[in-house]
Amino acid sequence: MKEMTFLNKLFFVLVLFFAISLPLPIAFSSIAVILLCILFLANRKGLVTGIKLYAGNRRNILLLIIFATLTLSITYSDDKKIAANVILAALPLIALPLSLSRLITLTTRQYNILKVFFVLSCFITSLVYFFAAISRSGLADGSYPLYMRHMPLSDTLAYTAIHLTYHHLSPGIHAVFFSLYIAFAIILIVFNWEQLSKWAKIICGVLVFYFILYLILLSSIIINFGLFSFLIGYIYFQFSFRKWHHYPIFFLTLLSGTFITLYLLISKSFIPPHVAIYRFDSPVFNETIAAALILVFLTGLLSIAIKRLFKKNYVPILASLVILVALSFSYLGYDKYKLATAQNKNSIEARINYGKEALRAIKTNPVFGIGIGDKKNENIMKVEDLPEGALPDHMFNSHNQFLDFWLSSGIITLICFVLLLINELRKTFHYKDLSYLGLVYLFCLFCFTDSAIMVQRGQLFFLFFIALFDYEIKNQGKAT
């Protein structure tokens, strides 16, 4: 009994270290995973219990099949060395869920501590990265390039924007993954708001505002869209709109989210890299933003009217309205998009091209894929079509986890991954845990723009928190 108590305490220290390490350089998370695996294997008495917990979870079976199909693809990969390296990187798909089976032993207080320390780690890390970016830019001590002092104000603003946005604000972690972490930290705060004391609410309110500003500076379109759309959806379904304060909260979130997403879309995708920010100097884009805000405002009014009039039967009508508005947005931005892409190459255009090439390669091997080791640029794309810095022997990145799995090891891997996400979404609705739902929703969106679960930053974060929520809710007896 004393041994088990000691092991439980040691396990909690390790998972606490793991939660703190996520926003830090990846070496810290890797060390935490290794230590957790060693602890799991060293505890012979708990091995059987851990394996039973592992085998009794549908999520883990699907992850096991995904790993098995990826491993099987080595047999028809010409480059088996690269294939073996990819499989080694995918080992946490099995190892981490196994080593986290002891999460079932934690208390409610310990679960909350893990979440709090993750949020604090995101905050402290972001501050360090921010001041490091200022230091590197030379803006604090005036050591930035001398020629900038004699350039127009607009160029100085561009220089500042370049050095205080995107990768400059996250040197130890890819900006999009850091955006995912910060967005999830916001969700953890917002959906645990009622548990906070008065002073804690004030502090956390300031922290949420800070995180939102930092998230905007990181410039991830999909994560900003995911966060605001989730908050808007929550407010809409939660509010009765029978009280006056429901309206300003809803419309402020709706219009702010729309403006921020559109601004990032224009700044990051359609503005030349040396300009960095959109200065509202284009009538074409100004008209687009104004029209979009008006359309979204009118849609918000109509959606409230639908909810008030149709009460419990408003969801199908609301879904039709959302589809109609999405099509309107596509039509609204089509000509502007063609104009912008004719002048500048952008990340959206690059992702579309990668997706097309991935689909073309999938058509040649739709059942088994081309093999995880042969997923290289030279096997999929023409050398002249590769973006700057990409070499023919580099691993091909479709920037889409669904296409990436299908391309690598076939249709079974894709189906299992889709079933995995559906299973997690089903659990969130069954448990009625909004933080859990927000995590899965953000990750699902992220998988459409990046290979999220085959990158260590994504797989460790996602597997850890879905296991944490699952065991927490089961341990509290909320599952039925």
- List, for residues 34-81, the tens digit of each pLDDT value: 999 999 998 887 788 889 989 999 999 999 999 999 999 999 999 999
- List, for residues 123-140, the tens digit of each pLDDT value: 999 999 999 999 888 877
First vs last C-alpha separation in the chain: 30
HSE (CB half, 13 Å, CA atoms) of 226?
A: 28
Residue that the structure tokens 């995880």 belong to: 372
Q: How far apart are CA 438 and CA 468, in angstroms?
A: 14
Q: How far apart are CA 70 and CA 68, in angstroms?
A: 5
Nearest to 479 by CA among 422, 421, 432: 432
Which pLDDT does position 479 carry in this prediction?
43
Report which listed range, 87-96, 263-272, 347-356, is most confident. Answer: 87-96
Per the DSSP assignment, residues forming a β-bridge with 470 are none
Q: What whole-number percentage of the chain has pLDDT above 70?
A: 89
Let me know if 139 is exposed, middle or buried by CB neighbors in 10 A (0-12, 13-18, 19+).
middle
Nearest to 32 by CA among 7, 62, 4, 10: 10
Per the DSSP assignment, residues forming a β-bridge with 395 are 376
Nearest to 49 by CA among 115, 122, 120, 99: 99
**Backbone conformation region of residue 237, classed left if phi is above 0, alpha if psi is from -120 to 50, else beta:** alpha
Residue that the structure tokens 């480059």 belong to: 79
- pLDDT band per the 50, 70, 90 thresholds, residue 352: confident
Residue that the structure tokens 């004699």 belong to: 150
Instruction: Look at residue 118 and tell me whether its pLDDT is greater than 70.
Output: yes
**Phi and psi dihedrals of 199, rounded to 5?**
-70, -35
Structural contact between residues 450 and 176, judged by C-beta atoms closer than 8 angstroms: yes
The answer, as to whether pTM is greater than 0.85, is yes
- List, for residues 243-283, the tens digit of each pLDDT value: 999 999 999 999 999 999 999 988 887 777 666 678 888 88
Q: How far apart are CA 98 and CA 53, in angstroms?
A: 8
Interhelix angle 411-431/401-409, nearest 10 degrees: 140
Nearest to 77 by CA among 455, 407, 450, 459: 407
- List, for residues 386-418, the tens digit of each pLDDT value: 766 677 778 898 899 999 999 999 999 999 999
Nearest to 186 by CA among 457, 20, 467, 435: 435
Residue that the structure tokens 């089903």 belong to: 426
For 477, the token pair is 């007896």
- List, for residues 68-90, the tens digit of each pLDDT value: 999 999 999 999 999 999 999 99
Let me know if 264 is exposed, middle or buried by CB neighbors in 10 A (0-12, 13-18, 19+).
buried
Other beta carbons less than 10 A from residue 144's beta carbon: 17
User: What is the H or E stretch that residue 135 is in?
Assistant: helix 108-137
- pLDDT band per the 50, 70, 90 thresholds, residue 215: very high
Report which listed range, 49-58, 108-117, 380-389, is most confident. Answer: 108-117
Instruction: Look at residue 316 and tell me whether its pLDDT is greater than 90.
Output: no
Question: C-alpha distances in angstroms, 91 versus 72, 84, 86, 88, 225?
Answer: 14, 11, 9, 5, 31
Which pLDDT does position 386 carry in this prediction?
73
For 189, the token pair is 């705060």
Which pLDDT does position 114 carry in this prediction?
97
- pLDDT band per the 50, 70, 90 thresholds, residue 2: very low
Instruction: Look at residue 187 and tell me whether its pLDDT is greater than 80.
Output: yes
- List, for residues 149-160, the tens digit of each pLDDT value: 555 555 677 777
- List, for residues 442-478, the tens digit of each pLDDT value: 999 999 999 999 999 999 999 999 999 999 998 876 4
Question: Length of the chain in residues, anyone?
Answer: 480
